[in-house]
């Protein structure tokens, strides 16, 4: 899995993931979230458009990122999940906690 | 190959996280040879099998010469997988619910797998853990 990070003009971080989000990739995601947080971001948006597969370890990594962001008074949101990722969120009922946004812009602007 | 078997695959020595890539490749080959299986059934079955394989890789208590194999079969109306490993018996609660804590970072694998297939079974025969997964599929909506 690859993680690309960009910083929005307002200081928010957008992490674009590609590949498979599984136990192998969890550390890379957590590292990217930690770096964004250390850099001052209080909102991290994870763009899942190019994630072709996610398992429960990958979901755990997203939840870990959410916990990290909430611990500093921030938030982590997800955008553009594909069918498989959306299914995993629904089957685990985690779409209540990590609500999928249709676009990155929606996620950046959601309250 | 038995006459009613449309396709099958075998992933040997699936004991490290790198094996999950081989497992995805095996699924891609399987779906190429059985294109009649609907996308939703493919997605759910693959999700469940990868979850169980990852569970074996990550959590099974290993003994000497630990090994694990995954076998996949597509037949009319049926997707089946056997995951067999030589690890120690571990009592499992296959009917366990999702974590009560929404911010728990673990504990969703088995409930996820169970919800994605029509049958999920596990037993230990004294030497091996045997996982069996089954999902029914139909081309009729």
Residue in B closest to A30 by C-alpha: B105
| Residue A76 structure tokens | 């982590």
| pLDDT tens, residue by residue, B19-51 | 999 999 999 999 999 999 999 999 999 999 999
Q: Cβ of A19 under 8 Å from any chain B Cβ? A: no
Q: How far apart are CA B31 and CA A50, in angstroms?
A: 21
Q: Does B100 touch chain A (CB under 8 A)?
A: no
Contact between B131 and A94 (Cβ < 8 Å): no
The backbone torsions φ and ψ at residue A87, rounded to the nearest 5 degrees and listed phi first, read: -65, -45
Phi, psi of A64 (to 5 degrees): -60, -40
User: Do the chains contact at A67 and B105, CB–CB below 8 Å?
Assistant: yes
Q: Where are the domains of chain B?
A: 7-136
Token readout for B105 is 């970072």
Q: How far is B113 from chain A (nearest CA, A)?
A: 9
* pLDDT for B141 beyond 70: no
CATH architecture of the domain B7-136 equals 2-Layer Sandwich (3.30)
Average pLDDT over residues A98-105: 97
Q: Looking at the domain A2-109, which fold is it?
A: Transcription Regulator spoIIAA (3.30.750)
Write down the pLDDT at residue A111: 57
Averaged pLDDT, B111-139? 95
Reported as a single tens digit per residue, the pLDDT across A83-100 is 999 999 999 999 999 999
């Amino acid at each position: 899995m690859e993680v690309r990070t960009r910083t929005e003009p307002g200081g928010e971080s957008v992490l674009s993931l590609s590949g498979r989000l599984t136990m192998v990739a969890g550390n890379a995601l957590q590292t990217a979230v930690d770096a964004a947080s250390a850099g001052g971001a209080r909102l991290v948006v994870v763009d899942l458009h190019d994630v072709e597969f996610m398992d429960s370890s990958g979901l755990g990594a997203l939840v870990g990122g959410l916990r990290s962001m909430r611990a500093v008074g921030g938030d982590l949101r997800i955008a553009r999940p594909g069918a498989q990722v959306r299914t995993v969120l629904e089957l685990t009922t985690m779409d209540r906690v990590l609500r999928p946004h249709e676009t990155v812009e929606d996620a950046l602007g959601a309250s | 190959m038995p006459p009613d078997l449309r396709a099958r695959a075998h992933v040997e020595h699936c004991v490290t996280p790198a094996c999950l890539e081989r497992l995805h490749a095996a699924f891609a080959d399987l779906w190429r040879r059985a294109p009649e299986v609907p996308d939703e059934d493919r997605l759910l079955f693959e999700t469940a099998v990868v979850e169980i394989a990852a569970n074996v890789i990550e959590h099974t208590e290993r003994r000497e010469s630990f090994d694990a194999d995954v076998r996949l079969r597509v037949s009319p109306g049926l997707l089946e997988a056997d995951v067999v490993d030589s690890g120690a018996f571990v009592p499992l609660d296959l009917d366990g619910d999702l974590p009560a804590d929404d911010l728990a970072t673990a504990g969703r694998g088995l409930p996820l797998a169970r919800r994605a297939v029509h049958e999920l079974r596990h037993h230990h025969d004294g030497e091996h853990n045997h996982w069996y997964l089954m999902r029914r599929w139909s081309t009729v909506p």
